[in-house]
Chain A
């Protein structure tokens, strides 16, 4: 079954969406959308380093993303700049460094478009194994850190006062995000990773009555976007990564209009 590239794409994309949804909820709740962008831009530097040192691309991207995330935590304490300025600094510096480094390596010919927009149709069985192993790890750790992380999201002071150790939860969260960026890069590309994190979570917000429910719905909407987007790209011969994001957007828009009317009608009845 996995011999067909299209089936491999769906399996891989589903794996990424299942992990991106719950993590994306925290990004939405904590207003960290730009942070996701920063990590994904840093991914390009990771790719350059992987070529330079001839190491595994996913590993290099993870290490660079993690470094950027920890630098952010460190700079926030020291530099006296606001978080958005620091994110802008880190994000574009890492992207530019990556591009410059790649330009120096004239012997390396890499598919820049593939990097920016992903190539889900080219995933191998080994990639799928990496996605599911990494994804299972991320979800397990997220479940373990859920309570303190959620408490810290609602109110860091309250969490700290009541022994939830929000700082530790935050570092773990960044680690998980770096892993997801590293494994999702191949699927949607560095430019669109944030979309896969945020759009399903934003769609889920309207339907969810609680945080756990929202995480579950986000994962399901993400899977729907992956499957729908891949079939759409097959049908109309469009690039797969962007097609997935466009489908996610379509689901979001579809979720906007009829539901409000239905809820009103239901309220009117009771």
Chain B
């Protein structure tokens, strides 16, 4: 296990370009041990791309991605399609990338509540069950960094609350860093230390507002939900319009968010709207 004070993974002005289009650009991101960082953003905003850069699956076209030496990663991808030609039980799936003892397997499956499915074929699992199997497998590795790409997809509301409880437990237990991608733009996991809102670049970042004490949210989410969920207030200095252009705080509209100096990173700065890049560079948020 790593006991270093520095960050587990770090992106410095990292970006990925594909065929002249920037999927994401100018991303600064850091995950430290014991910290939960949530990435949010609309579809196509580059959340998964950012996570894949952090994981080292994707090399950044510019900027840098650095991982702590010997970093042990547990990864829950967004989509895993297991081919029907592949005979694969949950039990065998658990040891896909590292060996585990029977006890370790059982403990991990029990923690995600699917111990009874150990001998089921992976392709016969429901969406929610499969998510739990993916999570159990990633956790059983005892990772330094857990990367979860929309772990609550296909899981109903009470299942979602339970998974968030579980993720917080895992973090406390393993004291690992967690990078979580969420499809929800406003409601995030309460235990999140930092939220980063993406839309082709970092639109804003901050801490979520804990809602457990608000009576209204308590009514909306239920007592248990309110304890696990938090609301994230966006503080954008610009708006992504449906046609892909960007309206800035002072009302000017530009084609693009990106500026050579990456000025949009801070929140208290002057805009000089001399956006010279023409382009389709920004990931559209219209979808």
| Count class of interface residues, chain A | 20 to 34
Question: What is the CB-to-nearest-CB distance from A261 to chain B, in angstroms, rounded to a whole number?
Answer: 20
Question: What is the CB-to-nearest-CB distance from B39 to chain A, in angstroms, rounded to a whole number?
Answer: 15
Q: Are the C-beta atoms of A153 and B86 separated by less than 8 Å? A: yes
Partner of A161, one of B73, B89, B98: B73
Q: How far is the CA of A162 from the CA of B137 in the complex (A)?
A: 11
Segment of A6-14, A100-108, A117-125, A210-218 in the binding face: A210-218
Partner of A31, one of B83, B96, B97: B83
Chain B: which residue is nearest A31 at the CB level? B83
A28 at interface, CB cutoff 8 A: yes
Interface residue ranges of B37-88 to A (CB < 8 Å): 52, 55-57, 73-75, 77, 80, 82-83, 85-88
A150 at interface, CB cutoff 8 A: yes
Q: Are the C-beta atoms of A160 and B86 separated by less than 8 Å? A: no
CB-CB < 8 A to B141: which residues of A? 162
Contact bitstring A1-40, B, C-beta under 8 A = 1, else 0: 0000000000000000000000000001101000000000
Q: Known contacts being A147-B97, A151-B97, A162-B141, is A157 close to B88, with CB within 8 Å?
A: no
Q: Are the C-beta atoms of A158 and B86 separated by less than 8 Å? A: no
Central interface residue in B80, B97, B98, by most chain A CB within 10 Å = B97
User: Interface size (B, Cβ < 8 Å)?
Assistant: 23
Contact bitstring A198-239, B, C-beta under 8 A = 1, else 0: 000000010011110110000000000000000000000000
Interface residue ranges of A156-174 to B (CB < 8 Å): 157-164
Total A-B Cβ pairs within 8 A: 65
Q: Are the C-beta atoms of B55 and A160 separated by less than 8 Å? A: yes
Partner of B77, one of A150, A153, A155, A214: A155
CB-CB < 8 A to B57: which residues of A? 157, 160-161
Q: How far is the CA of A158 from the CA of B88 in the complex (A)?
A: 16
Partner of B96, one of A154, A160, A208: A154
Chain B: which residue is nearest A150 at the CB level? B96
Q: Known contacts being A155-B77, A162-B74, A162-B75, is A29 close to B97, with CB within 8 Å?
A: no
CB-CB < 8 A to B56: which residues of A? 160-161
Q: Known contacts being A150-B96, A164-B97, is A158 close to B77, with CB within 8 Å?
A: yes
Q: How far is the CA of A210 from the CA of B122 in the complex (A)?
A: 11
B276 at interface, CB cutoff 8 A: no
Question: What is the CB-to-nearest-CB distance from A26 to chain B, in angstroms, rounded to a whole number?
Answer: 10
Q: Are the C-beta atoms of A158 and B80 separated by less than 8 Å? A: yes
Contact bitstring B190-229, A, C-beta under 8 A = 1, else 0: 0000000000000000000000000000000000000000
Q: How far is the CA of A153 from the CA of B86 in the complex (A)?
A: 9
Central interface residue in B73, B92, B96, B147, by most chain A CB within 10 Å = B96
Partner of B89, one of A31, A153, A162, A209: A209
Chain A: which residue is nearest B122 at the CB level? A154
Q: Are the C-beta atoms of A161 and B75 separated by less than 8 Å? A: yes
Q: How far is the CA of A210 from the CA of B86 in the complex (A)?
A: 8
Question: What is the CB-to-nearest-CB distance from B162 to chain A, in angstroms, rounded to a whole number?
Answer: 23
Q: Are the C-beta atoms of B87 and A159 separated by less than 8 Å? A: no
Q: Known contacts being A155-B77, A162-B74, is A28 close to B87, with CB within 8 Å?
A: no
CB-CB < 8 A to A162: which residues of B? 73-75, 97-98, 141
Q: Known contacts being A147-B97, A151-B96, A151-B97, is A161 close to B87, with CB within 8 Å?
A: no
Chain B: which residue is nearest A148 at the CB level? B97
Contact bitstring A115-159, B, C-beta under 8 A = 1, else 0: 000000000000000000000000000000001001101110111
Partner of A154, one of B88, B98, B147: B88
Chain B: which residue is nearest A208 at the CB level? B87
CB-CB < 8 A to A31: which residues of B? 83, 85
Q: Are the C-beta atoms of A211 and B86 separated by less than 8 Å? A: yes
Chain A: which residue is nearest B134 at the CB level? A158
CB-CB < 8 A to A164: which residues of B? 97
Q: How far is the CA of A155 from the CA of B56 in the complex (A)?
A: 15
Q: Known contacts being A159-B97, A160-B55, A160-B56, is A154 close to B74, with CB within 8 Å?
A: no
CB-CB < 8 A to B52: which residues of A? 157, 161
8 A-B pairs with least C-beta separation: A161-B75, A161-B55, A162-B97, A160-B57, A208-B87, A155-B80, A29-B86, A151-B96
Complex A-B: 13 CB contacts under 8 Å: A28-B85, A29-B85, A31-B85, A147-B97, A151-B96, A154-B80, A155-B77, A157-B77, A158-B96, A159-B96, A161-B55, A161-B75, A211-B92
List residues of B whose CB falls within 8 A of some A CB.
52, 55-57, 73-75, 77, 80, 82-83, 85-89, 92-93, 96-98, 141, 147
List residues of A whose CB falls within 8 A of some B CB.
28-29, 31, 147, 150-151, 153-155, 157-164, 205, 208-211, 213-214
Known pairs A153-B86, A209-B87 / 8 extra A-B pairs, C-beta < 8 Å: A29-B86, A160-B57, A162-B74, A210-B87, A210-B88, A211-B86, A211-B92, A214-B87
